[in-house]
Amino acid sequence: MQSRRALPILGGSVYSDPMTAAGSTKHKTRKRDWRIWFGIVITIIWVGAGGWYVFGVMRAEPGDRLSPEALGSFLEGAFAPLAFLWLVIGLFIQQRELANNSKAIRKASKQSEKQTAAIAATEMNARQETFFKIKENVDHQLGGISGMLYSSSMGTVGSGEMTREETDANFKRIADGDCEVFARMFLGRSMIDKDNLADMFFGTEIRARHTRNYIRTFERLRHLARNCDVDGIIEETLMQSAFGLLYRRMLDHTPDELNDEVITNT
């Protein structure tokens, strides 16, 4: 079993494992491109063979000296293959570096896409949170408008089918959070007295003003829902609510002469 040698450091000591150190050295060695090692080995063998050749020629003919022209031609011919070898090795290494750079660029591009998507999702969530906060206030506004419209047609100032006490109780329900109480009453009325809806919405100037105000307010809320939901789920849910169904009833029973005054998004 190999022993561990303590290495002094500031504030204490650590133990170096010989196996770990060897593995780290081996890992660093493997990181070097095998083509470089191949080129080094071939260069050493080639230079050694050239030196051995020159040494053999000088031993065979010690009195014969090479002229500078002959020496230059010899060196040119001897090192030309090495120059070509390292040129090819350099091209391969450059190709590998380009491939690594391409991978890094693709990875950075994917990270950028993820960050962009995350930012877009965060912005969309912020829009949705803002929408639901606005919707709470608009619901009370729509509840009040629908309450005044229903009271104008069915309350004491209208047909008298709804007493003053019932009107006050329903408005209290709006204050307690049940903002769609009058909208549901309109929908219930549309099932039993559909032909009278036009009069309930536009029978008097006051009713027509309340109806137009309701339509404009709901359409603004619908526009906000459309801008904060790419899938359209929030807008679809809004249109299926009691407020949305009442909005559709109002559009269906709007007189032709008032269509130009009512701006719709359908």
> What's the rounded Cα separation, in Å, for the pair 181 and 147?
8
Q: Residue 60's pLDDT is what? A: 67
> What's the rounded Cα separation, in Å, for the pair 117 and 100?
26
Is the model more confident about 156 or about 220?
A: 220
> Has this prediction a pTM greater than 0.85?
no
Q: Is 157 exposed, middle or buried (0-12, 13-18, 19+ CB in 10 A)?
A: exposed
> What's the rounded Cα separation, in Å, for the pair 210 and 42?
95
Is the model more confident about 51 or about 236?
A: 236
User: Which residues are bridge partners to 12 per DSSP?
Assistant: 9
What is the share, in percent, of the chain residues with pLDDT greater than 70? Answer: 79
Are the C-beta atoms of 175 and 221 separated by less than 8 Å?
no
Q: Residue 264's pLDDT is what? A: 46
| pLDDT confidence tier of residue 241, bands split at 50, 70 and 90 | very high
Task: Name residues whose C-beta falls within 8 Å of residue 142's C-beta, 6 or more positions apart in sequence.
Answer: 179, 183, 214, 217, 218, 221, 243
pLDDT digits 0-9 by tens, 121-141: 888 889 899 999 999 999 999
Angle at 116 between CA 114 and CA 121, to 5 degrees: 95
